């Protein structure tokens, strides 16, 4: 059937004008935030009685002698410490702690159910102060991370700004393979098995096509692949493999994050040009030096390796945790670019800030721990012009905590206010 030619345009134009003026009103809403103390991670300064003016999704002014525009909504945080929104560079919204026990979720749960859980997880992480997260592997939940990211960006559900990696690249028998199942029953794997360079390249193209922002590569195996005597990890990639992966990702303007415990896998990943090494607790001095020389970021994810149950509390685990601490302390001394990353999902969403406490226990200064989750995270994500500090022109990602995290880092776990892109998501004062 032919549509009737439209004879009267004005009502539609009128509607467009009405909608765009509504959008303008929304984007130009002004909020004035009165801060008791404001921490600036860029220079480590703490300023009392600062006022932040937020217009739309951006920070318009920051200072002690800023006047509040007429009609602005005033948020009084004068009893709190205000910080930039936090950035967790290693998360799994589609993973829940229960998935770490028993059969993997790719076997026991539908992708739809995992997505429902992921929606709730994203909200909890945002309310804990994390306004941006790099989500590293859906662990077999397909492209549900893309859906959650897009749902958040479109304002359908609350959550951090997500950068997602969809499936991770692994090898047959390596990390993120189902183990202990009947080989004659076809079961989806939690990661994509890419046993040749061609397969790796094809998988990157598929992931980018369906929405990946980052490429995740398993450059070594996991705990079950670690030699219990030498603590050598299983290398899953050659230098040439990594170079091919990084080059293909770069074609699509994507970066690569490599899960690597240590050994040749970690060194190949660094030399091959990945942007960040994840975990890295078994790296030797040569690997740490390579991190410094190549300017590669390191997300240590310290807390997730602590035994959470008596069964986990093995001698091997205790040795690995001790090595992790040693490597972290050496890396700090050597000037490695340490970035805040937690592996949240393997433990309760909304509790990622426990990692700050661990970092400080291991000898990092509280301001450096805060930097790792703000300006340094922004740099790793190549978003330093948008996020990571409270500065004029940046996105208004602002949180407030009870107490002073510079004198007691645990204060950062007590988040009372969360604003992301100028919108308030938590106000529990």
SS3 content of the chain, % helix, strand, coil (to 5): 35, 25, 40
Smallest distance, Zn ion to C-beta of residue 184, A: 30
* Interhelix angle 111-127/144-153, nearest 10 degrees: 40
Query: Using CB under 5 A, which of 88, 255, 343, 397 touches Zn ion?
Result: 343
For tokens 């699509």, the residue is 252
Which range binds Zn ion by CB under 5 A, 161-169, 219-227, 314-322, 340-348?
340-348
Binding footprint of Zn ion, residue count (CB under 5 A)? 1
Smallest distance, Zn ion to C-beta of residue 198, A: 26
Which range binds Zn ion by CB under 5 A, 114-122, 158-166, 218-226, 335-343?
335-343
Which range binds Zn ion by CB under 5 A, 239-247, 290-298, 339-347, 373-381?
339-347
Shorter beta-carbon distance to Zn ion: residue 37 or 134: 134
Listed in sequence order, the residues at least 6 apart from 340 whose beta carbon sits closer than 8 Å to its beta carbon are 86, 87, 88, 89, 299, 355, 356, 359, 369, 372, 373, 376, 377
**Angstrom distance (rounded) from CA 282 to CA 98:** 27
Smallest distance, Zn ion to C-beta of residue 389, A: 26
The string of DSSP codes covering 78-117 is EEEEEEEPEEEEEE-TT--GGGGSSS-HHHHS-HHHHHHH
Phi-psi region of 143 (alpha: psi -120 to 50; beta: other; left: phi over 0): alpha
**Angstrom distance (rounded) from CA 359 to CA 350:** 18
**Angstrom distance (rounded) from CA 402 to CA 429:** 10
Q: Is 255 in the site for Zn ion (CB under 5 A)?
A: no
Which range binds Zn ion by CB under 5 A, 48-56, 262-270, 336-344, 395-403?
336-344
Which range binds Zn ion by CB under 5 A, 14-22, 162-170, 196-204, 338-346?
338-346
Shorter beta-carbon distance to Zn ion: residue 299 or 390: 299
Shorter beta-carbon distance to Zn ion: residue 203 or 343: 343
**Angstrom distance (rounded) from CA 230 to CA 232:** 5
Smallest distance, Zn ion to C-beta of residue 343, A: 4
Rule CB under 5 A: which residues touch Zn ion?
343
């Amino acid at each position: 059937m032919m549509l009737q030619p439209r004879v009267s345009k004005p009502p539609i134009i009128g509607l467009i004008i009405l909608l765009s003026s509504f959008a303008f009103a929304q984007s130009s809403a002004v909020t004035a935030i009165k801060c008791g103390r404001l921490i600036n991670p860029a220079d480590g300064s703490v300023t009392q009685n600062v006022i932040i003016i937020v217009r739309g999704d951006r920070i318009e002014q920051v200072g002690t002698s800023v006047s509040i525009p007429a009609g602005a909504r005033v948020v009084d945080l004068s009893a709190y410490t205000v910080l930039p929104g936090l950035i967790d560079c290693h998360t799994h919204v589609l993973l829940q702690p229960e998935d770490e026990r028993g059969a993997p979720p790719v076997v026991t749960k539908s992708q739809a159910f995992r997505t429902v859980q992921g929606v709730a997880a994203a909200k909890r992480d945002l309310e804990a102060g994390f306004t941006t997260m790099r989500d590293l592997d859906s662990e077999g939940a397909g492209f549900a991370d893309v859906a959650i990211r897009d749902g958040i960006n479109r304002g359908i559900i609350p959550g951090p700004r997500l950068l997602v990696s969809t499936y991770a690249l692994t090898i047959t028998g390596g990390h993120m393979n189902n183990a202990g199942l009947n080989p004659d029953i076809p079961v989806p794997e939690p990661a994509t098995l890419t046993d040749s360079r061609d397969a790796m390249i094809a998988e990157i193209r598929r992931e980018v096509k369906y929405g990946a922002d980052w490429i995740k590569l398993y450059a070594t195996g996991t705990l079950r692949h670690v030699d219990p005597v030498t603590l050598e990890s299983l290398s899953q990639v050659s230098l040439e493999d990594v170079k091919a992966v990084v080059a293909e990702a770069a074609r699509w303007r994507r970066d690569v994050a490599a899960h690597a415990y240590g050994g040749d896998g970690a060194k190949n990943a660094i030399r091959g040009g990945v942007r960040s090494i994840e975990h890295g607790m078994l790296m030797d001095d040569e690997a740490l030096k390579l991190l410094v020389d190549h300017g590669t970021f390191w997300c240590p994810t310290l807390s997730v390796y602590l035994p959470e149950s008596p069964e986990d509390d093995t001698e091997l685990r205790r040795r690995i945790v001790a090595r992790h601490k040693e490597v972290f302390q050496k890396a700090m001394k050597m000037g490695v670019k340490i970035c805040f990353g937690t592996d949240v999902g393997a433990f309760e969403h909304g509790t990622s800030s426990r990692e700050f406490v661990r970092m400080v226990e291991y000898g990092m200064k509280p301001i450096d721990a805060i930097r790792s989750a703000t300006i340094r995270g922004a740099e790793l994500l190549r978003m330093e012009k948008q996020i990571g500090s409270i500065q004029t022109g940046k996105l208004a990602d602002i949180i407030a905590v009870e107490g002073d995290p510079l004198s007691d880092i645990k204060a950062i776990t007590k988040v009372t206010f969360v604003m992301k892109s100028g919108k308030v998501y938590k106000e529990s004062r």
